[in-house]
Amino acid sequence: MDFDHWYDAILNFIKSQAANGLTVANGCCGAAALFYCGNHQPAVSAALIFAAVLFDRYDGKLARKLKMESALGKQLDSLCDLLSFGAAPAMLIHTALFCLYGVPGMLAAIFYMLCGMIRLARFNISKQEGFFYGLPIPVAGLCVTAGFFAVPYVTHFWLFVWMVLLSVLMVAPFKLKKI
């Protein structure tokens, strides 16, 4: 094989995996956010959730630009989104506040994650028509993470309401135009 063939093969491989690399970076941020919650460093966890949003924002755009969209990429994106915007924010708010309320606090965090799972499963089986159905999980995850920063300023009751509202909005049957 000549150099040009190898060069083209390597370039095509990089092109085919670039968007998946951003998706995996999103998932790595979510996984690290969970570990930082476990190590009682919630501010670092929150920062990693915000970083995951940046990777998530551009993975699909890059895949479309390179014409490298795939079923694998769609599934990988949903799994990483569940980690970064479902599990990590739920663990963050549970660690920061909801743990004070025992089982009800845990159930609120679990309810949020379950609604995120349902929302992502629906997304994966629906046709993409320029609309989201329900609140996208990255938006919900950012809102829950923002709630973490509101802990000193609002009553705990309102953060429970906020979490439940975001959970319900993820599975609600309304259309939201993609931007």
Would you say 134 and 170 are in contact if contact means Cβ atoms under 8 Å apart?
yes
pTM value > 0.85 = yes
The tally of domains found in the chain comes to 1
Q: CATH number for the domain including 33?
A: 1.20.120.1760
Residue range of the domain that includes 19 = 3-177
Counting beta carbons within 10 angstroms of the beta carbon of residue 4, is it exposed (0 to 12), middle (13 to 18) or buried (19 or more)?
A: exposed
- E strands, the chain, where? 131-133, 175-177
pLDDT, tens digit, 9 for 90 and up, residues 64-79: 888 878 888 889 999 9
Using one digit for the tens of pLDDT, what is the confidence trace for 14-61? 777 788 899 999 999 999 999 999 999 999 999 999 999 999 999 888
